[in-house]
Every structure is written in C-alpha cells, then in structure tokens.
Structure 1
Amino acid sequence: MAAMHGYTKVAVRQVATAFDLSRFTSACDLGGCTGALAYELARQYPGLKVTVLDLPEVIEDAAHFRPDGPQTGQVSFMPGDFFRDPLPEADLYILSKVLHNWQDEKVHQLLSRISRSCKPGGGLLVVELLLDEKCQSLIPVLQSLTMMVLFLSRERTLSEYRSLLQAHGFTDVRAAYLGSTVDAILATRA
C-alpha cells in the first residue's frame, strides 16, 4: 500500500486539475486504496464529497495515510468489492490504475456496473498510462508488457478506451496527456 500510495501521489495534483471537475458534487473512487487522489480532489474542489470504495483490508489500513487538513472531512471510506457490492451513488466515478489490471471481460463487467450506477450527465474519470497509437513511447509499452506477464492484462490506447467507454454509454471522451506516470480520461454518461 505504501508503494501504491507513493506512486499515486506523484501525479495526483496533475490528475485533479487535468479537467474542470467543479460541476460534480459527489465522487466515488473505486479501488481508491489510501485515498491519495480523493484527498487531492477534495483539496482542489471544496464542494466535492468523495467516497473511496475498496476491499475491507485496504480500508482498514488507509487511516495510516490520512493527511492533515480540512479536506479530510470531505473524504469517506467504504469497504466493498466493486465487482460484487453495490456502488455508492455519485456524480463522478473514478477508476485510477484499475482497468489496466484486468482483461477485457472484467473491464466490460466493471464498466457495465458503473454505467448502470451513473446517471445521465454524470462522469467517469479514468486514470491510466495511455499507450500512443503507434506504441512508440517506451515507458507505456514496457508497463503494458509487465501487465501482460503479471496479470494477462495490458495498457490501452485512447482509441481502445474510447471504444470501451462508448460501448457502455459514455460519450464526450476527452484525454489529458499529463507527461507523468499516468494520463487522464474524462467521459460523460449519455
């Protein structure tokens, strides 16, 4: 968890400010681990309440990573499995470094669950390292190879994410290439 927390912290400010998220009043960070991104979103958007949904054993240890500051009151933690348990209601759902862990079948299953929970006009923020269309950038290619070897999963291109998201009712798919450890995609539920 400490490694994941540190890896996430590197880009949270860039992710939180990649798009104007001020129209959202509630968010649910699925698999949000220590809440690093949730706390930064709360800091950037004082009117945003963020729920982090993760496995009970993760939630139990997340308190060790709680920062100081007024934004901590905007963030809550809920134990659950995003493949089985009901998803909390939210205007914005977040998947940060989640989809690259799963093969397409599981990705479709998760996106379908989010699509059913997300009201029209709601958003989905996907935070992943995007492969360029020609796979010329070495770091995303190596990351994708690592994911294939470890989990039989992979990194994806923006076109692949756009197809996945549109298949589940998400439109206006926009990307922000952050030049960091991750990139960001924001899509709107039709």
Structure 2
Amino acid sequence: MDVISKRISLTAWGRLYGFDKATTARLHKQGRLPPELQVETLPTGRHFVIVPPDNMGRCVVYARVSSADQRDDLDRQVGRVVEWATGQGHRPDEVVKEIGSGLNGNRSRLRRLVADPLVKTIVVEHRDRLCRFGFEYLEASLMGRGARILVMDDAELEDDLVRDVTEVMTSLCARLYGRRSARRRAERALAAAAGDGP
C-alpha cells in the first residue's frame, strides 16, 4: 500500500519558523525557501507544503544549556550528540542550540521543533535537555504524530538540577516577598535545606 504524504498550508509552515504570512509569501515568490521543501500550488493559487511520510521525516539534534556562561559546554554537547546519532545510523539534518532553563516551557526553538510536522526524530543528550518536568507528555505528544525522541544518556545533570531548583525557589519567594529579595531568600532557603545555613 502506498504511503500518502500529508500537506499543510504554506502560511502555516511559515508560522512554525516565525514568519508572518507576507514574509512567507515573499520568500516563496523569490525562490528563497529551503530547497528540500516541496510546495504544491492549487489552481486557486493557494500554496501547500508537502509533508513527507513518517519514515522520511527530518532528524534534528537539540542541545540546551541553562545559562550564557555555558556556551562552550553547548558546543561540546552538540559534538557528542551528533557523533552518537551518526553512530546509531541517523543523519542529522539540523542542529538546534538553545540557552534557557529546562523549566521554561516557552523556549521558541524547542516549540518550533515540536510543532514542525517535517521533524520526525529529535536527538538529545539527556531527557532534561528538552524539559525538566513532563518529558513523558512531550514524548507522547510527538508519538501521536509519528515522531520520536532519541536520548543518548538517561542520567540526570546535577548542576542543572540545582539551577532549576534555585529558579523555582526564586519564583516562589518573589510571589511571597517581592522581586527584590527573592534571590537572596531562595539562596538562604537552599543553604538551610542543604545543612549549610544557620
């Protein structure tokens, strides 16, 4: 049985990459869309992007660190994941790098990946590179559209976990005591919990 390709409107495809309708139309008219993108034009003039069958989707390596001072770690992380993915027989079509907390569910590059119907495989070094909490929900959501997540190493990163707990405590303290003293109170609470405080 033949596998039938799906299609989405060109405007919807553009939104996945942060382009408005006019910009997407202009890129198409100027022939500046990605060469691998198949665009079908109906007699009515509407344009659609042909989404390949599930077994022909794109493979993307996603790498993330929590703060800008870890940029060197980010590049090394990319190298490790690309090497591992290639060794597993996957050819990464794209590498996406992002700086932000694993608790932040509004990371633009990750959101684009999850929403892109052309992406069928996302490869990460650790589960918490994608999200600190709710990995199973994200995985199930991707599986629902025929995509998958490949995890190189299931171990949790302790440094990032400490950063994330600090962010949660800071957020809670900010709600209780106001923004100005939130960071100081969070640090004191964490020190007390670790037995280092007064």
| TM-score > 0.5, shorter chain as reference | no
| TM-score interval, smaller chain | 0.3 to 0.5
Write 1 or 2 for the structure with the bigger share of helix.
Answer: 2
TM-score normalised to structure 1 length: 0.33
Task: Determine which structure has greater relative contact order: mean sequence separation of CA pairs < 8 Å that are 6+ residues apart, divided by chain length.
Answer: 1
